[in-house]
Structure 1
Amino acid sequence: MFIFATLVLAFVVVVQWRASARESSANLDYPPQGRVIDVDGTPVHVLIAGSGPDLVLLHGASGNVRDWTYDFTDRVSKRYRVIMLDRPGLGWTGRLPGKTGPWNTSAETPMEQAALLQKAAAIVGIDRPIVVGHSFGGAVAMAWALNQPEDTGAVVMLAGVSNPWPGDLGWTYTVTGSALGGGVIVPLASAFVPKSYVDSSVESIFQPQAAPEGYAEHVGATLVLRRESMRANAQQVNFLRPHIVKMSKRYEGLSLPLEILHGDADTIVPISVHSEPLSKQVKGANLTVLKGVGHMPHHADPDAVEDAIDRAAARAGLRKSP
């Protein structure tokens, strides 16, 4: 029994040591690209580029601001002041108080995430922004508008989560989002998941398109393998649905310009479940269906995304009509 306990303890030590070493490597390889500001004790990573009307970009699950800086920021920073924000627990933004720890299962809701990021945006002097949300970031973009409808210029949804879905999201989120998974499985995954698995996961997100050359290296995919980031990502996704149910009942009260882009080949966030219903819930919403495009429209069809942002800006009176 003593030998068994010693072996278990040794294994735990090795797992935690290896996870810490990989986290340190990821942190060194992918430092903050922007400024980390304090928001009521929570660090928030903000990256700003360009000038013009304020344009907020919110990344999806497992992501960070580097998703936008691969090439999309260069496209829009010539005519917008682009404010990119890491969501709580991801990239270089910390988690909210009471949400940390290996056995925690309390996730940041979309409304809580939006409130935190809106405080960060206020610190950098934002004014009636166009808020762009991709995937999970779409839920936060809608929460942003619900939180501050009068102070939000427009919303642009890119394959965004907006409505309740049938069924569950798969066993990986269920397990890693649980207390036991967060305390036991997450450190194991952080320590031993191979780079080949990370690369194949990135490729799967882009299907049926291929990931752009060098994308996985640029975005710092290993940042999400850090233990706290992995837990944050899993918990936020795993416990998202009840909050989406509540939020979706309030969409009809919104009157701001809403541009929705969604690929009809997206199997991760299906257009029929999310964007098609949303286009009917908000008066004046404009839905653009991207034929043959998967879950990453800002990479697969960036011209269409730029056009949608320009339309939103014009509808909000922030720019002349394109």
Structure 2
Amino acid sequence: MERGRRAMLAKGVMMAGMMTAALALTGCGRLVDARATARETAFEAQFPPTGQLLEVNGTTVHAHIEGTGPDLILLHGASGSSRDFTFDLVDRLKDRYRVIALDRPGLGWTDAIGDQTANPIAQAEVLRAAAGQLGVRDPIVLGHSYGGAVALAWGLRAPGDTAALVIVSGATMPWPGNLTGWYAFIGTPLGDRVGPPLLTALAPVALGDRIMAGIFAPQPVPPGYDDYIGVGLAVRRQNYRANAAQISGLRPYLRVMAPQYPRLTLPVEVVHGGQDRIVPASIHALPLAEALPDARLTILQDQGHMPQHGDPQAILDAIDRAADRARDRTERRQAP
């Protein structure tokens, strides 16, 4: 899943490793932590929650809610937050859906959930409980990238209470190979201890902008997106640890989930960019669509990993199709 992102970070990993060794040898840990704390405070003041904070069994969950109509849940991808959707997509949907964009556990303004933070099934359960507090019934659930795995887990755990799924650039199938480079380093005890503080304290925001450009490729980053998304939220120490754990730990959960996909008889729209180098369609979207009993696959041949920005109309169309298919399914069930 992270092959493209790892390539972008490869050069930085070597430098980070050398800087880490230097910090360990010179005993600068306290200075780094102080600098990291100061930057985190500034980032959080600059990018506050855009919605409301719910308490779900001791876990704070951030939910941004707009519009009226059938319930539509939006689940963001790795390194992100609900701001990815509130930048533009929510405004395009709120005239006909009650749109609920949720920060996933450990990211944005939602708390981590301890040793279950890397478990997409546990994430789905926490977010379903938050949706229950909001009176959500039979939602359409859209998941982008890592959020696609959480959306599928949502459907598997509540197939009778989920109207339809929309999987956009979803990381949904076990992929070949192993993580290397930066995420592999963060997975070590030393990396976990020194990597996130180092990144938070010293990494320039411009580095996030360069990484973002690679994630959007071959499409450009939309004007104003980098100022709105809040890259600083993603490099807070606990946020970064949670994200790294989720990326590193996803594949074993997909091995458990994938054999269960044929049980999902609800309508599923699978939308994927043909130029996606982060989560290749051939590894994820194509076998997913084959495994699902009622999937419709749309490959956007010119799009990369972020089609919700590169071709938002295609995503709107997929959501509307999912709503229509869910309504038809309900009517068929109710027919005498």
Task: Tell me the SS of whatever aligns to 1:140.
Answer: helix
The code of the aligned residue for 1:122 comes to G
Matched, 1:262 2:272: yes
Aligned with residue 16 of structure 1, among 19, 30, 33 = 33
Q: Which residue of the partner structure matches residue 180 of structure 1? A: 190
Instruction: In structure 2, list runs of 5 or more residues that go unmatched.
Output: 1-21, 331-336
Matched, 1:70 2:87: yes
Residue 146 and residue 81 in structure 1: after superposition, are their counterparts in 2 closer, same or farther (change >3 A)?
Answer: same
The code of the aligned residue for 1:65 comes to S
Give the superposition deviation at 1:190. 1.0
Instruction: In structure 1, list runs of 5 or more residues that go unmatched.
Output: 100-105
In structure 2, C-alpha distance between the alignment counterparts of 1:213 and 1:170, rounded to whole Å: 32
In structure 2, C-alpha distance between the alignment counterparts of 1:319 and 1:305, rounded to whole Å: 21
The code of the aligned residue for 2:292 comes to V
In structure 2, C-alpha distance between the alignment counterparts of 1:208 and 1:6, rounded to whole Å: 39
Give the superposition deviation at 1:36. 0.6
The code of the aligned residue for 2:197 comes to P
Q: Which residue of the partner structure matches residue 322 of structure 2? A: 312
Matched, 1:79 2:79: no
**1:157–1:259 CA contact under 8 A, matched in 2:** yes
The code of the aligned residue for 2:231 comes to A
Aligned with residue 110 of structure 2, among 93, 114, 121 = 93
Give the superposition deviation at 1:8. 3.8
Give the superposition deviation at 1:134. 0.2
Aligned with residue 120 of structure 1, among 112, 120, 130 = 130
In structure 1, C-alpha distance between the alignment counterparts of 2:326 and 2:176, rounded to whole Å: 34
Residues 58-82 of structure 1, C-alpha deviation per residue, up to 9 Å, x if partnerless? 0000000100011110000110000
In structure 1, C-alpha distance between the alignment counterparts of 2:290 and 2:192, rounded to whole Å: 38
In structure 1, C-alpha distance between the alignment counterparts of 2:187 and 2:276, rounded to whole Å: 24
Q: Which residue of the partner structure matches residue 103 of structure 1? A: none
In structure 2, C-alpha distance between the alignment counterparts of 1:178 and 1:288, rounded to whole Å: 39
Q: Which residue of the partner structure matches residue 33 of structure 1? A: 50
Matched, 1:222 2:232: yes
Q: How does 1:1-322 map to 2 (within 5 A)?
A: 8-9=26-27, 11-96=28-113, 98-99=114-115, 107-317=117-327
**2:44–2:233 CA contact under 8 A, matched in 1:** yes
The code of the aligned residue for 2:143 comes to G
TM-score by length of 2: 0.89
Task: Tell me the SS of whatever aligns to 2:195.
Answer: helix
In structure 1, C-alpha distance between the alignment counterparts of 2:195 and 2:25, rounded to whole Å: 18
Task: Tell me the SS of whatever aligns to 2:183.
Answer: helix
**1:203–1:210 CA contact under 8 A, matched in 2:** yes
Q: Which residue of the partner structure matches residue 4 of structure 2? A: none
The code of the aligned residue for 2:90 comes to T
The code of the aligned residue for 1:118 comes to R
The code of the aligned residue for 1:22 comes to R
In structure 2, C-alpha distance between the alignment counterparts of 1:195 and 1:219, rounded to whole Å: 12
In structure 2, C-alpha distance between the alignment counterparts of 1:214 and 1:176, rounded to whole Å: 31
Task: Tell me the SS of whatever aligns to 1:14.
Answer: helix
**1:310–1:319 CA contact under 8 A, matched in 2:** no
Task: Tell me the SS of whatever aligns to 2:161.
Answer: coil
Task: Tell me the SS of whatever aligns to 2:159.
Answer: coil
Give the superposition deviation at 1:83. 0.5
The code of the aligned residue for 1:31 comes to P
**2:71–2:97 CA contact under 8 A, matched in 1:** yes
TM-score by length of 1: 0.93
Give the superposition deviation at 1:178. 3.0
Residues 146-199 of structure 1, C-alpha deviation per residue, up to 9 Å, x if partnerless? 010000000000000110101123311111233321111111111111112111
Give the superposition deviation at 1:280. 0.7
User: RMSD of the alignment, in Å?
Assistant: 1.8
In structure 1, C-alpha distance between the alignment counterparts of 2:60 and 2:313, rounded to whole Å: 33
Which one has a larger percent helix, Structure 1 or Structure 2? 2
Residue 309 and residue 7 in structure 1: after superposition, are their counterparts in 2 closer, same or farther (change >3 A)?
Answer: closer
- Give structure 1 regions of 4+ aligned residues with deviation exceeding 3 angstroms: 4-9
| Greater Cα offset, 144-153 or 177-186 | 177-186
Give the superposition deviation at 1:214. 1.4
How many percent of aligned residue pairs carry the same amino acid?
Answer: 48
Give the superposition deviation at 1:108. 2.6
